[in-house]
Amino acid sequence: MIPQPTLEQMREELRINEEFLARYNRPGPRYTSYPTAPVWNDAFGAADLEAAHAAADAARTPISLYMHLPFCESLCLFCACNVIIQKDKRVSIPYFDVLKKEIARVSEAVSREREVVQFHWGGGTPTYSTPAQLEDLFGYTKERFTFSREAEIGIEVDPRVTSREHLETLRRLGFNRLSMGIQDFHEPVQRAINRVQPYEMTRDLIQTARSLGFDSINVDLIYGLPYQTSETFAHTVDQIVGLAPDRIALFSYAHVPWLKKQQGAFAAYLPVGMEKFEIFRTGLLKFVEAGYLYIGMDHFAKPGDELATAQANRTLHRNFQGYTTKAGADLYGMGVTAISGFHDAYAQNFRELAAWEKAVGERGTATMRGYHLSE
């Protein structure tokens, strides 16, 4: 069992000076794999993916599926994800058609004896799509894979576009986990990042999800956004604690205006250095003080949550969706820019929609780059 540090110990460990911060305050890739994604190479192609599929199937490992749905109605200015902004939802129809071809091809490489223990839908905004579209895609996928009765089935939802009908449909299909983007409740921050999402809207969606019987609700927050201060963020944290989500992710804002030009709009208003660290420190200590366990890096969980149990038992695992209890499962990513992770290899699909569609049309898969692991 791993003992949790006391609140006083955490306060002491988080006392750092400007010199220390200046030495180590450097941008780096998000830690979701080793080696990290920037060192993967485009020499890894379709044949390598097929070999990874064959090796995984021979090992009869459990399966984790990831579905990337890239569409959003509007652009959140902080976002560095691979998204497609489009208000006309009809544009997603051809995307779903191509995605089904990829699902079918991947399923052919998977024996039906292997069970899906985890299925996650991310984006983008999966609930940008209609409940009928989501039901159709879920049914198509479930026909082609064998799902464990205890499978974790989760989806990212945006309270601004997610209806009660969405949640009712998802729950009926078997979804048991929701992940909800919030970032910050402070209105000046929301306006600056073009994501106005009142507290009441989020509260009502969480209450609806609870009433429908979802097992677990996660919320995402970001520190380092424009106009944030440790004082305003403390109020957001208090509101989050009042909503009592099962898990909390507290991510650092990644400022990459050379990749995402829209981020340049608020560069002058970003907290940096010690100011940004104090926002993180405030969030971490307040969540721990409220009774959440610090799982590590960017995650918190209620005592008794599966993540907390796995941490205590030293069975915690981290993959491209963050911390997970499903160690040993091979990850099959489908959709534009989706990532797969196997025992001895990583693979990523094309980031550009046209390139992904062309590759899937020609061979059923769309590997752009990857990496062979030596051990």
What tens digit of pLDDT does each residue of 226-241 get? 999 999 999 999 999 9
Q: What's the pLDDT at 145?
A: 98
The predicted-structure confidence for 317-335, as pLDDT tens digits, reads as follows 887 777 888 888 999 999 9
Cα angle for residues 161, 235, 20 (degrees, 5° grid): 110
- Round to whole Å and give the CA distance between 242 and 26: 34
Q: What's the pLDDT at 375?
A: 66
Q: What's the pLDDT at 344?
A: 92
Average confidence (pLDDT) over 47-52: 96
Judged on CB neighbours under 10 Å (0-12, 13-18, 19+), 56 is buried
Q: What's the pLDDT at 158?
A: 97
Q: What's the pLDDT at 2?
A: 67
Closest to 127 in 3D by CA, of 183, 174, 168: 168
Domain 7-36+62-334 carries which CATH code?
Answer: 3.80.30.20
Q: Is pLDDT at 9 greater than 90 in this prediction?
A: no
Q: Is pLDDT at 32 greater than 90 in this prediction?
A: no
Q: Is pLDDT at 270 greater than 90 in this prediction?
A: yes
What are the residues facing 269 on neighbouring strands? none
Q: What's the pLDDT at 1?
A: 62
Q: Is pLDDT at 260 greater than 90 in this prediction?
A: no
Residue % of the chain over a pLDDT of 70: 99
Q: Is pLDDT at 187 greater than 90 in this prediction?
A: yes
Q: What's the pLDDT at 5?
A: 82
Tokens representing 3 are 């003992």
Q: What's the pLDDT at 254?
A: 87
Task: Please state, rounded to an integer, the average pLDDT across all residues of the chain.
Answer: 93
Average confidence (pLDDT) over 113-139: 97
Q: Is pLDDT at 167 greater than 90 in this prediction?
A: yes
Average confidence (pLDDT) over 108-112: 97
Q: What's the pLDDT at 55?
A: 95
The predicted-structure confidence for 133-162, as pLDDT tens digits, reads as follows 999 999 999 999 999 999 999 999 999 999
Residue % of the chain over a pLDDT of 90: 77
- The domains of the chain are located at 7-36+62-334
The predicted-structure confidence for 190-201, as pLDDT tens digits, reads as follows 999 999 999 999
